[in-house]
Amino acid sequence: MIITIRKALAGEVGGVRRCLAGAFEPFRLQYTPGAFADTVPTVETIRERMRHMTVYIAVAGAREIVGTVACEVDGVEGHVRGM
């Protein structure tokens, strides 16, 4: 299987959310409700992050999003939001 890493497109927000939900749902009880909501944000929260950060996705085959990472650089400092 070929995996491609590229910037997420605005129309892929739902796929980003599904990827995060699938990865973290089995561990929900290990998070506080707030921490889980931050780890598996709503579609609107992901859209907001995409306005301020760069979101990359790993895509398996032609369509399935199998990984994400969000990051930003502010001056000389960088911030990795999640991976």
Token match 């739902």: residue?
Answer: 14
Q: Which amino acid is at 73?
A: V
What local confidence, expressed as pLDDT, does residue 82 receive?
77
What local confidence, expressed as pLDDT, does residue 81 receive?
81
Query: What radius of gyration do the chain's Cα atoms show?
Result: 13
3-state class (DSSP) for residue 14: helix
Tens digits of pLDDT across the chain (83 residues): 899 999 999 999 999 999 999 999 999 999 999 999 999 999 999 999 999 999 999 999 878 999 999 999 988 999 898 77
What local confidence, expressed as pLDDT, does residue 61 receive?
84
